[in-house]
Amino acid sequence: MTRINSVLASVVALVVLAVPALASAAVPTKNVLLRGTLYKDSLSALEKPIEVKVAATGKTARFTWWCGKQKSLTNRSSVTVAVKPDGSFAGTSNVGSLTVWTVKGRFLTGTTARVSLRLITVCDGKGGLVGLKGS
């Protein structure tokens, strides 16, 4: 009887831990454009506007960020990422075998996401976490 109780307790503990993780993810709304700004009005880092445009299929998204307030082609970086069924996505930008920046994120609702941008060898090297909202 004791072994059954411990197994049951373990299963219940795993379910309790898994439910919030599953509830925190969502499938993105198709064709939605999400925007946010990393280091907005900061004195210690360059402002980095960020956009995520979800494709019509909802299975991919175009992640774009700019190094500085000015949105121009010369300071723009972007990558297309696959959106997994749990709403998570990740991507990297490489020059040869060198990774210059990475992105990892998750859709919290159909029109909001939380993103981590890691800048390794570009811009001012200061990445971070940012929330994105649909428009």
Nearest C-alpha neighbor of 68 from the set 60, 59, 77: 77
Question: Going residue by residue through the chain (135 aa), what tens digit of pLDDT does each one get?
Answer: 465 655 445 544 554 454 444 455 799 999 999 999 999 988 999 999 999 999 999 999 999 999 999 999 999 999 999 999 999 999 999 999 999 999 999 999 999 999 999 999 999 999 999 999 997
Which fold does the domain 24-134 belong to in CATH? Porin (2.40.160)
CB atoms within 10 A of CB 16: 9
* Helix, strand, coil in percent for the chain, rounding step 5: 20, 45, 35
The DSSP bridge partners found for residue 131 are 114
Contact 109, 132 (CB under 8 A): no
Q: Specify the pLDDT at position 2.
A: 61
